[in-house]
Structure 1
Amino acid sequence: MSTPLRPRTTAAADWRALGTTVRLVVTDPALLESCNLLLARHLAEVDAACSRFRPDSELTALDATAGRPVRVSPLLAEALDVALRAAAATDGAVDPTVGSAMDAIGYDRDFALVREDDRPVRLTLRRTPGWRAVTLDPATGTVTVPRGVRLDLGATAKAWAADRAARMLADTAGCGILVSLGGDTAVAGEAPAGGWQIRVQDVTGAVDETPAQGSYATVGLRAGGLATSGTTARRWRRGGHHLHHIVDPRTGLPVRSRWRTVSVAADTCADANAASTAALVKGEGAEKWLTRLRLPARLVTQDGLVVTTPGWPTDTREAAA
């Protein structure tokens, strides 16, 4: 989990959207209210385009297209383009065609409702259709989704939305902006002195508390994005099975990884999120893959061992509970 800490001489707003926590921080407190209104409008548009849980969303409407090419909004086309590029960059470890697999493990509604659901699930190995089955023509905004394929943009859409919102608000307001959606953090504009301070931790918890388990680090981010993916959050139990939301496209089941969390910094939050999620799926050797990509990262094993790649800050505070 990545939690932005609020620097002095800034203003922050915290609320919920897209089924997750939202944090907006601005370096000009006088602009907080107007920026927050713009952010709320932006996230509402993203939800209407990309939600897998809304029957009236554009993404859900693709379920009924049965392989016919259809024109989608520029917003959904952009989100799909980001998802498909993430799939290509991660060799399919992050794949938007896992929608049916997510439904099969019970993640077919907002997460707050998933934990309350007691329907049994039957865990079955099922390779996902694969991202290459989806065709997007960015020039025309036309997408083709084969019959029976359900898309899930959960692995990329929030990070992309954070990137898009941070850039838009910085351009509009002319100040430093931080947008965090469920811990996926994007920054734009002029950063505070010392950079945006972000706590990277291995379990969820209050910002001002040391996690009960594992370890945390505080890093300064001046540009781009930072994302943490893990198997310790968004967990639920169903019929004797312990499940979580990171699905391995090769099996259609929750990934069983060497890592419990992976944090990555990159030029964009979308790139950071794709890399951190892919590292969980890749498991053993993911640190070498991230090193080859020259991505600063912090990986934590299931038993709490911290592994970092070149470029990850070494002079930050590290604490073990």
Structure 2
Amino acid sequence: MTLNRRRFLTISAAAIGLATSGARAAPAYVWAGVALGARASIRLDHPEAKAIAARASAEISRLEGIFSLYRADSDLSRLNAEAALASPPAELLECLTLAGTVHRASGGAFDATVQPLWALWAERVSAGSRPTAAELAAARATGGWDGLRLDMDKIAMAPGMGLTLNGIAQGYIADRVAALLEAEGLTDILIDTGEHRALGQMPGGGAWPVKLAQGGSVALRDRALATSAPLGTVFDGEGRFGHILDPRTGEPAAPVWRAVSITAPSAALADALSTAACLMPDRAAIDSLVARFRGAACESAALA
């Protein structure tokens, strides 16, 4: 599977009060490492930057231990392997609850239960072919969202089902890191986990200008931005089979959109809505979906 979507984490923050107190700002501290399976960096202008960056890194690692499909010991991986998870973490329940809300609002277009389809496509394309109609039908029959049961004591699903939160977890993690930094007394923060989350404005004033890959830019202040592209991540080297699968057909998203960018109060919501929007047939359908969520807006929908 080829991953050609830009994925990294960048956090830029300024210490609250330094600009107005007359105090000299501390030199920028830059932490570099790996987060969400990609290169990551955190840049902070703060006297305790090193300690704060360490706490943010630890929080990212903790959340990966919940959501990652690449770690066999993660809560999500264990749920997929055993079809049940006792005493699930609150973060997993919260993320799945939001996923269910977007699932219903999108008429089933956004569906975290497409993991068996993902696995099928990855296996067949890596072998030089593509799934047959019968294989797609069998994968789709393993169970949809209605086969999932969410409870504080246990998450359970039908045998053969599998979940992926790739269309929402990056945004959710951005929200959690923003909350951590805000609790540290920081303001004027921009976080990029593949989705953007802005707290406040730029340290020098004004909204954060975030450029869109499809052209143009969005000014962010106390908002989140997510962009999804049907061919942003592909299963094959030729770029024919995109990563956003339609649960209603089992096929990759129809080649309608080059990229769709959504803003919302939270990065998790923006992430899920931008993914679902790539499965909408026209701009009117995207706008109708986004209008169901207070504070959300479609900033750009570039045709393929």
Give the TM bin, normalised by the shorter chain. 0.7 to 0.9
The residue aligned with 2:226 is 227
Q: Secondary structure at the match of 1:186?
A: strand
Deviation at 1:236, TM superposition (A): 3.7
The residue aligned with 2:21 is none
> Given that residues 106 and 289 in structure 2 are in contact (C-alpha distance below 8 angstroms), is that contact kept between their aligned partners in structure 1?
no
The alignment-based identity, stated in percent, is 27
Deviation at 1:13, TM superposition (A): 5.5
Deviation at 1:118, TM superposition (A): 5.0
Write the distance in 2 (CA, Å) between the matches of 1:36 and 1:84: 32
1:134 pairs, out of 140, 145, 148, with 148
Q: Secondary structure at the match of 2:279?
A: helix
Moved more, 8-17 or 277-286: 8-17
Q: Do structure 1's residue 98 and structure 2's residue 114 form an aligned pair?
A: yes
1:74 pairs, out of 55, 75, 90, with 90
How many corresponding residue pairs?
A: 276
Write the distance in 2 (CA, Å) between the matches of 1:73 and 1:259: 35
2:302 pairs, out of 285, 300, 303, with 300
> Given that residues 52 and 152 in structure 1 are in contact (C-alpha distance below 8 angstroms), is that contact kept between their aligned partners in structure 2?
yes
Q: 1:218 to 1:155 in 2, by over 3 A?
A: same
- CA deviations on 1:185-225 (whole Å, 9 max, x unpaired) are 112255431111211113xxxxxxxxxxxxx1122201120
Q: Secondary structure at the match of 1:254?
A: coil
Write the distance in 1 (CA, Å) between the matches of 2:302 and 2:62: 35
Q: Do structure 1's residue 166 and structure 2's residue 175 form an aligned pair?
A: no
> Given that residues 112 and 163 in structure 2 are in contact (C-alpha distance below 8 angstroms), is that contact kept between their aligned partners in structure 1?
yes
> Given that residues 159 and 185 in structure 1 are in contact (C-alpha distance below 8 angstroms), is that contact kept between their aligned partners in structure 2?
yes
The residue aligned with 1:46 is 63
Deviation at 1:14, TM superposition (A): 5.8
Q: Do structure 1's residue 259 and structure 2's residue 276 form an aligned pair?
A: no
Which ranges of structure 1 fall in alignment gaps of 5 or more residues? Answer: 109-113, 203-215, 303-321
Q: Do structure 1's residue 249 and structure 2's residue 236 form an aligned pair?
A: no
Amino acid at match of 2:50: E
Deviation at 1:292, TM superposition (A): 3.6
Q: 1:31 to 1:257 in 2, by over 3 A?
A: farther
Amino acid at match of 1:248: D
- CA deviations on 1:211-265 (whole Å, 9 max, x unpaired) are xxxxx11222011200000023222427x88222111111222111311100011
Deviation at 1:166, TM superposition (A): 0.7
Q: Do structure 1's residue 198 and structure 2's residue 200 form an aligned pair?
A: no
> Given that residues 166 and 179 in structure 1 are in contact (C-alpha distance below 8 angstroms), is that contact kept between their aligned partners in structure 2?
yes
Deviation at 1:90, TM superposition (A): 2.4
2:50 pairs, out of 21, 27, 33, with 33
Deviation at 1:180, TM superposition (A): 0.9
Amino acid at match of 1:199: K
1:277 pairs, out of 251, 275, 278, with 275
Q: 1:269 to 1:23 in 2, by over 3 A?
A: farther
Write the distance in 2 (CA, Å) between the matches of 1:18 and 1:291: 27
Amino acid at match of 2:173: A
Write the distance in 1 (CA, Å) between the matches of 2:70 and 2:242: 17
Q: Do structure 1's residue 89 and structure 2's residue 105 form an aligned pair?
A: yes
Q: Could you state the TM-score of these two structures normalised by the residue count of structure 1?
A: 0.75
Moved more, 221-230 or 33-42: 33-42
Q: Secondary structure at the match of 2:93?
A: helix
Q: 1:287 to 1:25 in 2, by over 3 A?
A: farther
Write the distance in 1 (CA, Å) between the matches of 2:242 and 2:248: 16
> Given that residues 259 and 278 in structure 2 are in contact (C-alpha distance below 8 angstroms), is that contact kept between their aligned partners in structure 1?
yes
> Given that residues 163 and 186 in structure 1 are in contact (C-alpha distance below 8 angstroms), is that contact kept between their aligned partners in structure 2?
yes
Amino acid at match of 1:102: W
Q: 1:287 to 1:136 in 2, by over 3 A?
A: closer
Deviation at 1:269, TM superposition (A): 0.9
Q: Could you state the TM-score of these two structures normalised by the residue count of structure 2?
A: 0.78
Q: Do structure 1's residue 186 and structure 2's residue 188 form an aligned pair?
A: no
Which ranges of structure 2 fall in alignment gaps of 5 or more residues? Answer: 15-24
Q: 1:49 to 1:5 in 2, by over 3 A?
A: closer
Write the distance in 2 (CA, Å) between the matches of 1:38 and 1:123: 47
Write the distance in 2 (CA, Å) between the matches of 1:164 and 1:5: 13
Q: CA RMSD in A?
A: 3.1
Deviation at 1:286, TM superposition (A): 3.2
Q: Do structure 1's residue 237 and structure 2's residue 239 form an aligned pair?
A: no
Deviation at 1:7, TM superposition (A): 9.7
Write the distance in 2 (CA, Å) between the matches of 1:7 and 1:65: 41
